[in-house]
Chain A
């Protein structure tokens, strides 16, 4: 079955990994954006920035395995009017260089684009040390950062373009495995801070991003059999959150599930709950990694063991819908 080894348990057609889509988009956009420079921490063949580097060697700098310096160099390039793109594993770029992201990028509002690849547990066998599962929380905590988590090839490509055209610090989260295609070729509505409604429903809203969007759609289909019509929002931008879409969904469907490949604290679930708590509280259930590191294993097996499946979203949806005031 297609996707059986991708860890995504979907019957949908697989597309490129979001890191590949980012890499190709960056390479293509480099031609029309001479102000874009890329700094690599010697993982360009993993993050796919090497495709840009091969095409524009004069605008590509590999500063070695030194994330703190990587971020600072990017900040300096940005201060001299470059659009500086840096990419490394999500875990390393956000955790190793957090003070530099805070002090050299966020505080002065530098035009630096931070791309964290290999996010989540779906990277598989390399294990917990390589899995960025707290990156969204960390990056959302920094004032002024935009935080984007694309769900498929097309949206990652569109997000890359939007990121380069946006002036200011952006964090783009990418993943390692191939992921199901969710948007038709060349028809990806993508606006920073604006959720995409992929399916409408009146009984429940499933808010998801990254690899969880495909599972949310699968879950919504399964819930039809239980008489629950679920709306699905691809919340690709975690910050700034699409408050209007959330409040409308809360008012119109009355119950919510938030699904993300991230720890419980500080991720999309926290942002959604914070947003709705003060405007239109409804029952919410969460599908995420709770409060634990994962381990080595095949992506499929990991997602199942750590509860990131369409079945878990169905369970959560049933519970949220059942908790609504009658």
Chain B
């Protein structure tokens, strides 16, 4: 387990490196929103939770991961590229003309992308659809959805939450990447959705609150989610926006750092901080 954990921690660092490299090369994007989710995405793709086959992206029995917070696409692209869905160097074409590695995920163009997202609030409903399809087909695959914490201000999330509870979708797990910031400021100041776990509990979900930047806690939470019967699970994943380069962001005087890439001159400093994390 310890060796495996070390390997996964290295993987999370590698994903963070990819995130800052590709967004700095692109000259735009959302590295901080991507980096908060690195442990969860690492655990799913490399910690044994997602049954998937990069050589057969449409394998009907695969587990699904839907990145509803589509602006965090770089964390998904890093995981897909490192899994072998497409050549790793393609991540450096992020946001460039003719590249399928678009600003927000486009399932029609990039293998491994389960949903085209970028208009917030829609991924959980899509996840409910996949989970219902599994039931219709008698399949045992699991569907994971990740939203942001600002994203759950969208009413559709709560429509979806109610419907997932109605159909007792224990094959559905939602991870709320609670990184505490949205575009213009702290999430609880923009529109306070606390208590997030209490709301999902009230909607009929099993809930957990974890430190989502602690890989061990993430692995345990996903294990517990798999064991839940008769209801969907929501993991409120408490994270830091920009985790892995927080010292740099503090020095730059912007711990939200929403929707912008690191300037090229700060890239090495960020990579050094990630390597030391």
Which A positions have Cβ atoms within 8 angstroms of B?
37, 58-59, 61, 63-64, 66, 68-69, 71-82, 84, 99-100, 102-104, 107-109
Contacts and interface: CB of A to CB of B under 8 A. Distances in A.
A81 to B, nearest CB: 7
Shortest 4 CB-CB distances between A and B: which pairs?
Answer: A76-B129, A72-B125, A80-B133, A69-B159
Contact of B128 (A58, A73, A78): A73
Contacts of B121: 68
Nearest to B143: A76
Interface in B17-44: none
B147 interface: no
Contact of A99 (B119, B127, B131): B119
Contacts of B118: 103
Contacts of B114: 79
Given A73-B160, A76-B132, 7 more contacts: A37-B136, A63-B159, A72-B128, A73-B128, A75-B115, A80-B60, A107-B108
Interface stretch (B86-94, B161-169, B179-187, B228-236): B161-169
Contact of B126 (A64, A79, A99, A109): A79
Given A75-B129, A76-B132, A103 B122 contact: yes
Question: How extensive is the interface on chain B, given as a class?
Answer: 20 to 34
Interface of B: 60, 106-108, 114-119, 121-134, 136-137, 155-156, 159-160, 162-163, 166-167
A79 B133 CA distance: 9
Nearest to A109: B108
Nearest to B131: A76
A80 B136 CA distance: 10
Contacts of B60: 80-81
Given A37-B136, A76-B132, A103-B119, A68 B127 contact: no
Contact of B129 (A78, A99, A102, A107): A78
B159 A68 contact: yes
Nearest to B137: A80
Contacts of B163: 61, 63-64, 66, 69, 73
Contacts of A102: 119
Given A37-B136, A58-B136, A104 B167 contact: no
A72 B156 contact: yes
Given A61-B167, A63-B159, A80-B130, A73 B115 contact: no
B163 to A, nearest CB: 4
